[in-house]
Amino acid sequence: MPMIWFFYNLLFPVVFLLMLPKFLSRMVRRGGYRRHFEQRVGIYGKNTAARLAKGRRIWIHAVSVGEIFVALRFIEEYRKQNSDALFVLSTTTSTGHAIGEEKLDPRDVLIYFPLDLPFVMKRALNAVNPLKLILVECEFWPNLVRQTHKRGIPVSLINGRISASSFRGYMFLRSFTRQLLEMIDPICTQGRQDTERLLAMGARSETVKTLGTAKYDLPPPVADADAVARAVLRMVSVPDDALILLGGSTWPGEEEALCRIYKNLRAKHPDLFLVLVPRHVERRDEVVKTVEAQELSCTLRSNCRPGDLTGRSPREDTRPTEDVPDVLVVDTTGELMSFYAAADVVFVGKSLTEHGGQNPIEPALFGKPVITGPNMENFPAVMDDFLSAKAMRQVADPQDLEKAVSELLTDSSARAELGEAARGVIENRRGVITKMVEQVG
């Protein structure tokens, strides 16, 4: 074994042990981490093991929610050309696992991703015995890639992207990274910058294909996508013609900024209502305290559960409450898209007070005017597309955000124009998944 692999396998357990308290904390807070924890060391229950043993499958790994949706769309498109294909889908997070449980085809198997230790990966590969390994976005797990390649199993990367911070780390270990990238073919990237970075890291030019981002290939929204959101808003006496300012996938500091903006703009727009959807549900108490610290009242989406929330046939137990809160905090999972569909102006989180950004394509899919903060490093190709088409507003700070929100709330035609431009960007760039399926073969 080359010395660099020896050091990786020596250091990985040390890093894991240092991070173990964080993992244990997540298990306590999120609960879902405890389920199937044995799968993280390559041990599978009788039912899962039996299903894996029935036939060889394509293993596709997607770390969390955004990557899971890309993986699910890839599986769907792959089956259009290979109807008998079977898949194993692995994920790292409990939220990603929950989405997989809900959306994955019953023919396929869902597992948690195993630790990247030699003996664990050997055990997992023996159990899965994949036909192919497909990695989503930026999942270069050395032992997984190396052991899979040594078994003669093709390894591919789809929707590849390399952030600036990841690029610096990979370049520091370029000789190691180059060895990994030589084992992956094809490498399908989201944009020109991702391709340039991968080539600098040592990827072979003939294996790298710049195809665009698969996140444009979201399924078209259903006609009544906003039904649940509208029903919830009616329950708290928010009229259908209210202006909805939505903070989607917000992080600490962003809720406070949106609350301040909301307070400042309500005098000019008395029909304005604020909806906050924090990225992590377990922050609900923190978000409530933030709202109340701004002297605003709020209610939780989880308290709006009685009756039928489809919005199609109102029932006696879904009549509005008498008191209208200032803010609705959505502390449930799987409903963000519904609230995007009901919004008039959308701020996409993890971009103002945090770095990285959340997915701006989802609200754009509904033709909504989208605003982001300056820190959208996770979506460089997408931001290039939207900004060059003037299909999004990107602001520098909370003051700039307030100005942008105010302008859009005041001008309905500007909202419509920005939203339609955003939807046009998506329509013009669909079809990336099909190209990735063709490359993977």
What pLDDT score does 106 carry?
A: 95
Amino acid making up residue 125: L
> What pLDDT digit, counting tens, does each position of 270-302 carry?
999 999 999 988 899 999 999 999 999 999 999
pTM of the model: 0.77
Q: Who's near 341: CB < 8 A, 6+ residues apart?
A: 221, 225, 226, 229, 366, 368
Report the Cα 326 to chain-centroid distance in Å.
Answer: 28
Please identify every stretch of the chain with a pLDDT value under 70, giving residue numbers as ranges. Answer: 1-3, 5, 7, 12, 14-35, 305-322
Strand partners, 135: 61, 157
DSSP H or E segment with residue 346: strand 345-348
Burial 28-47 (b: 16+ CB within 10 A, else e): eebebbeebeebbebbbeee
Q: How would you classify the pairing of strands 87-91 and 393-394? A: unpaired
Q: Do the beta carbons of residue 220 and residue 336 sit within 8 Å? A: no
Task: List helix spans (H) across 131-276.
Answer: 142-150, 164-172, 174-181, 192-201, 227-235, 254-265
What pLDDT score does 319 carry?
A: 39
d(CA 262, CA 398): 12
What pLDDT score does 95 carry?
A: 80
At the top level of CATH, the class of 32-42+53-217+431-440 is: alpha beta
Question: Which two three-digit tokens encode residue 167?
Answer: 């690029």
What is the domain partition of the chain in residue ranges? 32-42+53-217+431-440, 227-428
SS3 content of the chain, % helix, strand, coil (to 5): 50, 15, 35
Backbone φ, ψ for residue 214 (5° rounding): -70, -15
What pLDDT score does 20 carry?
A: 62
What pLDDT score does 395 carry?
A: 98
d(CA 71, CA 134): 9
Q: Do the beta carbons of residue 394 and residue 422 sit within 8 Å? A: no
Torsion of CA 51, 53, 58, 63, to 10 degrees: 60
d(CA 283, CA 70): 26
- Any idea what DSSP says for residue 114? P
What pLDDT score does 164 carry?
A: 85
What kind of architecture, by CATH, is found in domain 227-428? 3-Layer(aba) Sandwich (3.40)
- Any idea what DSSP says for residue 115? P
Query: HSE (CB half, 13 Å, CA atoms) of 435?
Result: 18
Q: Who's near 303: CB < 8 A, 6+ residues apart?
A: none
What pLDDT score does 11 carry?
A: 73
What pLDDT score does 22 carry?
A: 67
d(CA 116, CA 119): 9
Burial of 19 (0-12, 13-18, 19+ CB in 10 A): exposed
Q: Residue 65: helix, strand or coil by DSSP?
A: helix
> What pLDDT digit, counting tens, does each position of 373-390 carry?
999 988 888 999 999 999
d(CA 371, CA 357): 11
Amino acid making up residue 99: I
Q: How would you classify the pairing of strands 370-372 and 393-394? A: parallel
Between the two ends of the chain, the Cα-to-Cα distance in Å is: 31
Q: Do the beta carbons of residue 426 and residue 365 sit within 8 Å? A: yes
- Taking phi first (over 0 means left), then psi (-120 to 50 degrees means alpha), and beta for anything else, what does residue 215 get? alpha
Strand partners, 246: 275, 346
Same fold, 32-42+53-217+431-440 and 227-428: yes
- Any idea what DSSP says for residue 221? P
